[in-house]
Amino acid sequence: MFGPPGAGKGTHSELLVNKYQLTHISTGDLFRKNLGEGTPLGLKAKTFMDQGNLVPDEVVIGMVETAIKDAGHVKGIIFDGFPRTVAQAGKLDELLISLGHPVSGMVSLEVPDEELKNRLKLRAKTSGRVDDQDEDKINNRIKVYYAETQPVIDFYKTQEKYYPIHGVGKIEEIFGMICDTIDKL
């Protein structure tokens, strides 16, 4: 599940988990959990997250590797907020190919910047997330998305695994389009 901050990745991932009995690996959620528990991993990630910058690739990849191992034998996995750099995408490919289950497809939620900013400002009221709280941090996350994360689209386009979905409208309608895409994979 791919898209800029505020695109709806978490919302739709949860709906997919319920509908298809999938396992959800959200790197943002995992970092926040580690932060809450004060683990060394959480402490390592904190300064990057608070500023809306990306956590270094090797930290993220190590964490995802552990999460995949911990998941054990599952029907399928939704990766949410990962891979967020081309280097992470390459590592994920290596990892999943070695396990005999390559990525099936990348569902990319496309939402204009103005809408993203409005959603994140609204979410700030309830999320309690430091990185939702001020405009500079939100703007930085969107800037980082364009600089480091958007190139991941080309990585999957080349593999013919890129499925863009218009992410503005009613949640159930967007979810319907995502399901139509997934059902064809």
* Piece in contact with ligand ADP (CB under 6 A), picked from 11-19, 82-90, 93-101, 107-115: 82-90
Are the CB atoms for 109 and 165 separated by under 8 Å?
yes
Among 6, 1, 3, 2, CA closest to 122: 6
Residues touching ligand ADP, count (CB under 6 A) = 18
**Cα dihedral sign for 109, 86, 128, 142?**
negative
Q: Based on CB atoms, which residue is closest to ligand ADP, 88 or 108?
A: 88
* Token pair for 96: 């999943």
Query: Least distance to ligand ADP from the beta carbon of 73, Å?
Result: 24
Tell me if 81 contacts ligand ADP by CB under 6 A. Answer: yes
- Tell whether omega for the bond before 151 is within 30 degrees of 0, i.e. cis: no
Query: Least distance to ligand ADP from the beta carbon of 131, Å?
Result: 6
Kindly list the residues in this chain that would bind ligand ADP in the complex (CB under 6 A).
Answer: 5-6, 27-28, 31, 48-49, 52-55, 60, 81-82, 84, 88, 131, 141
